[in-house]
Every structure is written in C-alpha cells, then in structure tokens.
Structure 1
C-alpha cells in the first residue's frame, strides 16, 4: 500500500490517500509496500514524510488483534534528538537508520502483521498544538517448513496373504507459513492421484484406513483353487511350513571372521514364509487416493498432513521407493524425505545373559535384521510376536508381542526350549528361532542327589 497522508492544523489527518496543501503548513506521510520476507532476514521499515513545519516526533507502532491494540516499538524525539525502543523483553531489535527509518534484524513469524508510522509537527500558527499524520504497511513474514516426515498409518500391522488391504502413507510438514504444497512420488516419478475428502473418525469406524467414496480396489474374487494351494503350505498349527534356505554350517569369505553363536543359544536358520498371493493382487497400476489437512498453529505456522492411500500389492510394492516432497515460496528447491517399503527379513536376536543359569532372568531382544539398508531396514514398522515351539511361554500365555521377550527366573525345565520370533508387516512375514540353553543344571541336580543318574545326559547335551 502506497499512501500519502496530509494533516492540517489543528485537525488530525485521517488515513486516506490524498495530497493537499494549506497555507498554515502541510504534512505528508508515505510508506512503500514491502515484499514478503523469510524468517531470519532483515527488514527495513521506511517512513517517508514531507512537511514545511517543525518536526516534533516520529513513532512506529505494531498493530495487533485486528487493529484494536497498537504497541509502540520505536520513538524518535526531535526536541531532544533522542530515540529509544519500547520492546517489552528489553532486547533492542530495532535500529534507527535515519530518524524515520527502522531496521528489524532477524525477523520472526511473530513479526508478521501491520505497522504504522505516526509523524507529528508543531502547528505553525500556534506553536503549541501538534499536527499528526500517519501511514501503514503490512509486513508478511514467511517461514519454510522445518520438519517433514513419512509414517505408515495404523502400523504395526499383521501380514495378510488372503485379503486385500488398503495401505496409507502419511506425510507431515511442520513449521511452514503459509501452508506448503505436498505431493508424493514413486521411484522418482510423480504419482497421479485421485483427490478425496477424508471421513471423520466416527464415519471411518473408529479410525480405520478406509477411503470414503473410493471405488473398490479389488478387481476379482479370491480363487478357491489358489486358496487351497496356499493353505497346503501351512503346518497343523496354521503356520507356514519350515523351508530352510541355508545349511547349518557357517559360510564366510576369506579374511572375514565367522560369527560364532552365543554359548547360550543355538543358531537356527531363518524360516522363509512362502509369499504366494491369490489372484486379487492387481497386475495393473493401482489407484492412488490423496487427501490433506491443514492444522493452524499458535505461532502462525501451519502443519500439513497429506495422505496417500492405495491397495497394497506385496509382490509389486516390496522394495518400492516412495518420497514426499514439499514446495514452499521460501524454499529455493523442494524439501524431500523418502522411505522404501520392505518386508522383514531375518531378525537378529540377542540373548542376555549369554550364559543363562537356573534362576536367571533371560531377555531375548530383536536387534535389527539380517538384510536391509542401513537406517531404513524395514518399513513400515514390523509387528513382533513371540511363541514357544510346542508349548506355552513361561507366564502361561500363548504368545507375546514386542521387540523383547523376558523370561523371569528360568527353571531347569526350559533347557533346550525353542522360541519363535515372528516379524511381519503388511508386505510380508518371516520367522526366526532361537534355542535356550540353561547352564548350571549339573550343580542343581547334585543338590537333589540325582547327579549320578543325570551326569551322562548332561555331558552329552
């Protein structure tokens, strides 16, 4: 806004853009409009005025609450030729450049808004009254997003071989002002999406990942023949048959030291779950549905959440690279974060203590995976389930979820027990086994006068 404001003694000028001349003196105030600035930059507020009178003072105001509150930020007193700041935090952030010009270094989002420059001169007729005129300018402060992230909605979740399921990526961009634009790419290519309006939590049945109003993504019904063929791969307990992909012997290259098994565990090859899928899996490109929400923050920034939903195809989507890109006028180039969809492969299990004794508390922990790129081994987050082969866990439960299985005060009877860790996410499932070896059984049996009978067995085990 470019505004010339003229004042006449003894009346106060209204803030209307006009130019007039009066024999008793005149005063005009002009402020050039400011382009948008980025947080951290330096802004110069320049108040241009013309007058044939004697200057009394120049005062800068910051206008808040829709114009109801005007806060002084800087004053120049021409009578005493002094200037001072009115900042409440006593941190002088303004510098006087030349009487009416103020510089704001390292602007913040909170500096966004209208500013007014008030100029006062002495009335030439009376020399007692002050003639006032003012101009205003709006300072627009932009802030680029300071954080973007991608997560999978409703995870960890189990793997399903016989039922098509929707999968949703959520990209969140924080700290942007104004709101940035967010879009997705797959393997570096922009994804063509179908926009939709997200349903409320109640309409989604308590926060499910369904898409309201979306066309069915399943093209044909489950084939019974395929179902029976896949079911034939399951053992009597309903788990996948054990298919060993490596021999128990350790193989390593020359110069590379082989990893010796822990004395408390027995190395069990990974069980590969057959990844046979029925015919509901699409052979053509999937339909991607896109939605986004804006969440205004108290500091003036906006949190943008963008969702990309499609029917997951574990055969085609495994190892697919998805990226979320954010464009903003304060950025010279888009911000980007990416994830690679990957099924879990071979969890690495660690048992503590390494030499478990009767009565010890044993912890079996997942410490990563055998296969996976550093920093992004498995996405989305796997669901870990622990079971004991051929029996229940020590606390009597059939299974336990989490990255760690705790066995408190292990009894001698658990020696040789096999424990299964199932790691699964919507892209696939895999089992890894470890055997618990309990030491100190011979000394325990001696206390019960059973050592002669068990000594031969204990030596051979």
Structure 2
C-alpha cells in the first residue's frame, strides 16, 4: 500500500489525500497446455494512469513487459468514472496466458500507476507479485529394487524394476517395454505394511498362478484357462492379486543352471501415486518377473511416461547385464611393509562407463587360503583396505567377486610387499560364471 500525504509545517494536522493498494490472487499449479488468468486487483482514491504486467526472469534482474493497460487512451476509463465512488473504486485487470509452456513458469508482477493530485505529470506506483508454477513430468528414473543382490545358480529369483516419474499433474501414465515392445502384464495390488507383516518381502505377493484367475481378474479355483493380460500403459493398481504359488523347481545343470519356466515370462505390474505439496503426483511403477539369466542378460527394458503436458512420451532405458571382470587398481603403486594398501574396483573390462552393469553389482572380497588382515572371512564394498600390511602378506592372493542376479565373476589380485629396491607387481586373472 502507498499513502500520499501532503504536509504543511504551519499546519499541525496532516491529511492523506491518496491511497493505492494492489493485491494478486495466488495461483494453483497448472499443467502445460492449460489457460491461466492473472488477476490484478487494486483499490485507490486516485486517478488511474496505467496497469502493467511483467514477467520476472534471471532472479529478478530482468522484467519483461507482457501487458499494458493505458487508462489515458482507453475508452472504458470514462465509463468507470460513472461509479462516482472514487475513494473506494475497485479496478480489475486480467491477463490470460493460453496454452502455457514450461518456459512460462516463474514470478509475475503487476504495476499500477495513479496520478498525483498535485500534478498530472507525476505518477505514483504500487505493485504486487504472484508465482506461476507450471507442471509436467520432468524427471524419470529406473532402478532395480532390492539390489545389490547375489547371484544364485541353484534357485530362480524374482526381479523388480522400479520406475519413478516426478513432477506430473495430473498423474502421468507409466508403462514398460522390453526390446521396444509393450509388455503384457498382470496387475496386482501392493500389500500394505500391516498386510505384509513386519519384515516380510514385497516379493511374497508376486509369485502368482495365472490358472487361479478368471478372465476378469477374480480369484477362481475352477478356471484353468489363462486370464486376460494387460498392457502396462494406463493400468490401475486396483485389481485383485492372484493367489500365491511356489516358484517352479530349478533343475541344475553341471554346466549352467537351466530354469524351468516358459520362455514367455509372466510380468506383474503395480503402481502407486504419492501426492506432493505442489499439487503434482509422484508415480512409482513396478514390473516384477522371475528372472532367467540365460534369456534376460542383455535385454533392453524401457520405462515410458505419457502426460497431457508432453507432446511425446518421455522414456529412460536400462540394459540388464551380468558383471564381467572388474578392473582392479592397487594403491600405493609401491607397497612396503607398514603401508595401508587399497584395492579398488575401477569399472569393468567391458561395457561403457556409467552404465556398464545393471543392476548394481555386489562386491565381495576374500583372501585365497586364509582370512583377511582384520581376521574376517570376507568384506563387501567396492574397496578393500589393508592397514599396515606385514611382510607375511607378501604373495597373498585376493579374490574380488562381483555378482548381480544375472551372473557372477571372480577376479584375483596378488599382493607383493616390496623392499627398498623392489618394483611393484600386480597380476590380475579373471574367471566368469
């Protein structure tokens, strides 16, 4: 608010001759493509000169004029004089932004100017501001749940991909593809914490028998035909869960385990909506199936998001891959008695940096033929630290096992503890399963 007061040093009473107040109604978050109305309300007992809307950018350093109402040349201004209540007259100016874009997101200001009573050439200004939040899915990611995890050659394992889409309003549609093809899924409802029981695995409700569902997804012990499958696109997580069955037995081959299940796996799909304070919804979609390392290694999975704000679906993709021969680095390069030695995994022998192995491998360190320096039998992590190495460790062989649900590989490194005149030696050998 601005009050304009004329003061006279010979007059003990000061009179305020003008006032101007500006208010802007707050805006809820809007979706890309919607139409937004910016309302600038003000009260004054003065004569309106102009109303100017600005878009503020670069942290307030730049103000771009987007709308101007010039009361001097607007024929509607004379109509407002007919109200004859100048001291309490309310003017309203609105700006419509059709089909808002992400670039429209940010603060806006409304500046109102009135004439000073003393002179028509002097304009007094007051302003208000509002923040326009434009929402569309702006972040999508895929991770493997419950990883890192070991590889099992004797037992089939359930595997879950978790796709998270953030910033959507309304909630986006999330679905999965494999090698570019939309995946047919069976929807299920995630159990609550009380239903699942303390500490119970979420996989428990995912081992399903198709023969126990009728075509509408209801439980039935009389039907034996395969129920209807659903594409993941646009699915709701409100359909009943199939009944639980035991994972098929695993027949172990002497060369490599061969799982006993169809080459056309059964995919189970669910999603949850998490409302956010800004009005957007975070969607978490899960795709679960019984992993077959022989079939799923090198398979390309993508998660796609559809939303009214997007002209085309957003997507992110991952390629399932077993670890193959981690590259090991030993520091210091010249290890002496009493040194602290670090053996660290620096990538793998194959694959592109940043996306070499998915899901994240589990690294386990052991000493061949003995215990580690601290007395333990094994240690997990990307790095093995040997503090104050004694001379007795000279020639010790250390094994790094890198594994994920798709496979396992061992790499060995020999530690040579040097004297003053020796040179360093690091030997790596690899064996994959």
Q: Distance in 2 between matches of 1:193 and 1:253?
A: 6
Q: Distance in 2 between matches of 1:290 and 1:313?
A: 18
User: After the TM superposition, which of the residue ranges 382-391 and 282-291 deviates more from structure 2?
Assistant: 282-291
Change (3 A) 1:64 1:362: closer
1:198 aligns with 2:190: yes
Quote the offset at 1:433 in angstroms: 0.1
CA contact (8 A) 2:189 2:240 kept: no
Quote the offset at 1:300 in angstroms: 0.9
1:165 aligns with 2:165: no
Quote the offset at 1:146 in angstroms: 1.1
CA contact (8 A) 1:270 1:431 kept: no
Normalized against structure 1, the TM-score is what? 0.57
Quote the offset at 1:263 in angstroms: 59
SS in 2 for 1:324: strand
Quote the offset at 1:204 in angstroms: 3.7
Quote the offset at 1:391 in angstroms: 0.3
CA contact (8 A) 1:286 1:311 kept: yes
Quote the offset at 1:390 in angstroms: 0.4
Change (3 A) 1:154 1:122: same
Change (3 A) 1:366 1:260: farther
User: After the TM superposition, which of the residue ranges 182-191 and 199-208 deviates more from structure 2?
Assistant: 199-208
SS in 2 for 1:394: coil
CA contact (8 A) 1:247 1:269 kept: no
SS in 2 for 1:106: coil
Quote the offset at 1:135 in angstroms: 21
Change (3 A) 1:307 1:230: closer
CA contact (8 A) 1:363 1:405 kept: yes
CA contact (8 A) 2:187 2:236 kept: no
User: After the TM superposition, which of the residue ranges 195-204 and 80-89 deviates more from structure 2?
Assistant: 80-89
Q: Distance in 2 between matches of 1:264 and 1:29?
A: 63
Q: Distance in 1 between matches of 2:148 and 2:112?
A: 64
CA contact (8 A) 1:320 1:341 kept: yes
Quote the offset at 1:85 in angstroms: 22
SS in 2 for 1:89: helix
CA RMSD of aligned residues (A): 17.3
CA contact (8 A) 2:338 2:390 kept: yes
Q: Distance in 2 between matches of 1:79 and 1:357?
A: 88
Change (3 A) 1:36 1:265: closer
Change (3 A) 1:249 1:355: farther
Quote the offset at 1:374 in angstroms: 3.5
CA contact (8 A) 1:72 1:86 kept: no
SS in 2 for 1:439: coil
CA contact (8 A) 1:385 1:422 kept: yes
Quote the offset at 1:147 in angstroms: 0.8
Change (3 A) 1:82 1:343: farther
Deviation string for 1:182-234 (max 9, x for gaps)?
A: 00000000000000001123544556554455xxxxxxxxxxxxx99999999
Would you say how many aligned residue pairs link Structure 1 and Structure 2?
410
User: After the TM superposition, which of the residue ranges 229-238 and 401-410 deviates more from structure 2?
Assistant: 229-238
Change (3 A) 1:410 1:289: same
Deviation string for 1:78-134 (max 9, x for gaps)?
A: 899999999999999999999733256997999999999999999999999999999
Higher strand share: 2
Quote the offset at 1:165 in angstroms: 1.3
SS in 2 for 1:88: helix
Quote the offset at 1:303 in angstroms: 0.6
Q: Distance in 2 between matches of 1:397 and 1:88?
A: 90
Change (3 A) 1:407 1:379: same
Q: Distance in 1 between matches of 2:84 and 2:168?
A: 26
Q: Distance in 2 between matches of 1:103 and 1:347?
A: 59
CA contact (8 A) 1:61 1:71 kept: yes
CA contact (8 A) 1:74 1:85 kept: no
Q: Distance in 1 between matches of 2:210 and 2:259?
A: 16
Normalized against structure 2, the TM-score is what? 0.60
Deviation string for 1:407-446 (max 9, x for gaps)?
A: 0000000000000000011011110000000011xxxxxx
Q: Distance in 2 between matches of 1:352 and 1:238?
A: 59
Quote the offset at 1:371 in angstroms: 1.5
Q: Distance in 2 between matches of 1:308 and 1:355?
A: 48
SS in 2 for 1:254: coil
Unaligned 5+ runs, structure 1: 1-15, 214-226, 441-459
Q: Distance in 1 between matches of 2:84 and 2:330?
A: 57
User: After the TM superposition, which of the residue ranges 243-252 and 328-337 deviates more from structure 2?
Assistant: 243-252
Q: Distance in 1 between matches of 2:268 and 2:216?
A: 38
User: After the TM superposition, which of the residue ranges 242-251 and 341-350 deviates more from structure 2?
Assistant: 242-251
Quote the offset at 1:360 in angstroms: 0.3
1:131 aligns with 2:124: yes
CA contact (8 A) 1:264 1:355 kept: no
Bigger Rg, which one = 1
Quote the offset at 1:284 in angstroms: 2.4
Change (3 A) 1:280 1:58: same
Unaligned 5+ runs, structure 2: 11-18, 420-431
Q: Distance in 1 between matches of 2:389 and 2:372?
A: 11
Deviation string for 1:266-317 (max 9, x for gaps)?
A: 9999999999444543242110000000001111111100000000001100
Q: Distance in 2 between matches of 1:414 and 1:234?
A: 61
Matched residue, 2:14: none
Change (3 A) 1:364 1:83: farther
CA contact (8 A) 1:263 1:354 kept: no
